[in-house]
Amino acid sequence: MSEKILVVDDEKDLVDLISYNLEKEGFIVLRAYDGEEALQTVTNRNIDLMVLDLMLPGIQGMEVCRLIRKDPAHMTLPVIMLTAKGEEIDKVLGLEMGADDYVTKPFSVRELSARVRALLRRSDLQKETDKKETFTFRGLHVDFGSHVVTVNNEKVELSPTEFKLLRFLSRRPGRVYTRKQLLDHVWGDDAFVEPRTVDVHIKRLRSRIEKDLSKTQYILTVRGVGYKFADIEV
């Protein structure tokens, strides 16, 4: 069955262009031109991915993303955010509101199509990974049930927080998370933890699992945004 993509932008010509190219690749494309229409479509239709413009009339793209993430039925819906702004702060805010990826205007439709395909693959991979009790990638093996981690068959000792951080990121390969998001998901309600704590624990985790700290292969830094586990091709 072809995946359904919802394209949301108030520029009709751009929506038509994106839709035409995605349809050529076999996707079913639905269209919305403002935030309210986007929310109604997500609620009433079975959507596999949404391409969402940041600047929309009425309900803004950021708010649309935030509202979708509050609904348990759509918490994992892949979202690519379009923005005419290039500042890093807008990318960070978009990710914190729940976007999975972002593309800055102007962009090539070919690039957007590649991002759509990659995000759909990542979404499928995450669904499969969430079902598994173990994870293996490039010599790194994580047993989520026993909390045992090995690198090239050698056991690695991690602190409880380091393991939770590795578990969270490895279950979502390729997905970028800001420091604030990692604090929320890994540390939870600990009000005494500061964002720089994430950097400290990432450094410690890397020192235990990475062979070459100057060229990490598992936990990657996304400059100006945060961290992610390496992309896994499927």
> Where are the domains positioned within the chain?
4-128, 132-229
pTM of the model: 0.66
Return d(Cα 176, Cα 178) in angstroms, integer. Answer: 7
Helix 35-44 and helix 61-70, axial crossing angle in degrees, nearest 10: 30
Q: Which residues contact 22 (CB under 8 A, 6 or more apart)?
A: 5, 7, 29, 113, 116
The mean per-residue pLDDT over the stretch 114-124 comes to 87
pLDDT tens readout for residues 192-219 = 677 788 999 999 999 999 999 999 999 9
Assigned CATH class of 132-229: mainly alpha
Specify the 3-state DSSP secondary structure of 53.
strand
Kindly state the average pLDDT of the residues 67-83. 87
Please state the CATH superfamily assignment of the domain spanning residues 4-128 in this structure.
Response regulator (3.40.50.2300)
